[in-house]
């Protein structure tokens, strides 16, 4: 929910920066079913059916990232999709290194007011000896806020990539500024268009 809210704020920022949201309707995405199945699978194992086989949940979780990678591969021409993918890769590295679970800092979980139910799959959890813990959910939104949660460096990179992609596609003032800088906007391109 936290990332969803962050993405909504990114979308709202487009018209604020004089971008044209209608331009999003002109974007032709390929293999959208890959994205839908990947996100749907994550929603099912995390929110709808968190109980059950931990092994199955782990494989479905990791498999959803394979679907996301395929989706990125066929749509890499989109501006800043490489940055969104980098955020996903950072998250995947932490998840894969920890057997399908995103390691979460226990202090961040406590500060966000999150408690985990034993026996249920959680995509983010405090682990006894996490690997790549610095890539895990080490940041938090406090429990006193309505959208309290934990998040990772990969999540931040992913949302930043989405913000830049939205503004570039919609031609906002931010996009015009970026066009005149050396910030890369497409895979393999270092510099403006």
pLDDT of amino acid 55: 85
Check the CA dihedral 178-184-185-189 and report its sign: positive
pLDDT of amino acid 98: 93
User: Within 10 Å of residue 31's Cβ, how many Cβ atoms?
Assistant: 14
State how far the Cα of 153 lies from the Cα of 66, in Å rounded to an integer: 20
List all residues 6 or more positions away from 188 whose beta carbon is below 8 Å from its beta carbon. Answer: none
Extract the tokens encoding 165: 């992609």
Extract the tokens encoding 66: 């394979």
Output 118 or 67, whichever has higher pLDDT: 67
For 156-178, how does the pLDDT look when each residue is reduced to its tens digit (9 = 90+)? 999 999 999 999 999 999 998 88
pLDDT of amino acid 11: 96
Q: Which residues pair with 139 in a beta bridge?
A: 151
pLDDT of amino acid 186: 54
């Amino acid at each position: 929910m936290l990332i969803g809210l962050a993405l909504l704020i990114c979308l709202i920022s487009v018209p604020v920066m004089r971008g044209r949201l209608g331009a999003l309707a002109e974007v032709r995405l390929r293999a959208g079913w890959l994205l839908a199945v990947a996100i749907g699978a994550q929603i099912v194992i995390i929110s709808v059916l968190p109980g059950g086989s931990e092994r199955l949940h782990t494989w479905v979780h990791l498999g959803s990232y394979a679907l996301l990678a395929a989706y990125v591969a066929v749509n890499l021409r989109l501006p800043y999709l490489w940055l969104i993918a980098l955020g996903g890769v950072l998250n995947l590295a932490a998840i894969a290194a920890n057997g399908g679970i995103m390691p979460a800092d226990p202090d961040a979980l406590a500060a966000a007011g999150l408690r985990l139910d034993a026996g249920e799959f959680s995509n983010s959890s405090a682990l006894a000896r996490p690997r790549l813990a610095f890539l895990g959910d080490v940041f938090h939104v406090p429990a006193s806020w309505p959208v309290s949660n934990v998040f990772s460096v990969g999540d931040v990179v992913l949302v930043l990539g989405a913000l830049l992609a939205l503004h570039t596609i919609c031609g906002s003032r931010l996009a015009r500024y970026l066009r005149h800088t050396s910030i890369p906007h497409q895979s393999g391109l270092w510099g403006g268009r």
